Amino acid sequence: MPPMLWPKTERAPLLTPPRRAGKETLAHPSKALRIFVSEIRDRPSPQLLDVGPVIGANIEFFARMGCKVFVRDLVAERIADIEKGKLSERLVPGTRWGGLPYPDEQFDGVLAWDLFDFFAREEVPSVIGEIFRVLKTDGLLLGLFCRERSEMPEPCQRYRIVDAGILEHEPIDRASGSKLLATRMRNREILDAFVPHRVLHFIMLANNMREIVVRK
């Protein structure tokens, strides 16, 4: 499936219209999102890559800031690979992943959401390396990690930007999401995986998820 692209539009207020949340939808304040937005909005003609599920409100949010947004749902691709029982044609060394079809240093920012949770622990540094390959120097990555300790399995999440500092999240379709199991990385493992890049923000939220912003 070719990556989808939304062009930038004229600037508009950052708030998106409210909507009624589903039963499993939760919201939390996100300093990581606020940091990411405050930097990206000041860049000339920024290009973003969103590697999560396609959320129209997120595309609109960044397009109104003047961003050109590319979307590629990597979790869905991994689920499809599992269902087909085959590996991707081009593999990132040390992983079972085909990588990103973009040139080096194309993007000002990458929204990784909880992507890293759904790779094996030993694969994560190589996946991070591939994502930082397509980031420009001084570009930013926003990511989230599941709870380090929990008795329950962690489903893949769908994230929706409510405003510049609030995220909603809800599990994706259980039948599909159950095909991937989250890797519960410890805080030190997460920080070590991003070396030599600069971690601007890393914190555990009230719901015990971790969020991070990293500069290339």
- 207 is a domain residue: yes
- 16 is a domain residue: no
Q: For residue range 176-197, what is the model confidence (pLDDT) as tens digits?
A: 545 566 678 899 999 999 999 9
- 183 is a domain residue: yes
CATH code of residue 136: 3.40.50.150
Q: For residue range 41-50, what is the model confidence (pLDDT) as tens digits?
A: 999 999 999 9
User: Which residue has tokens 């990555």?
Assistant: 141
- 154 is a domain residue: yes
What's the predicted TM-score (pTM) here? 0.81
Domain count, the chain: 1
- 15 is a domain residue: no
Share of the chain above pLDDT 90, in %: 44
Sheet holding 26-29, edge to edge: 26-29, 166-171, 157-163
- Contact status, residue 173 vs residue 103, Cβ threshold 8 Å: no
Q: Structural domain of residue 164, as residue ranges?
A: 4-10+21-215
Peptide bond just before 155 cis, omega within 30 deg: no
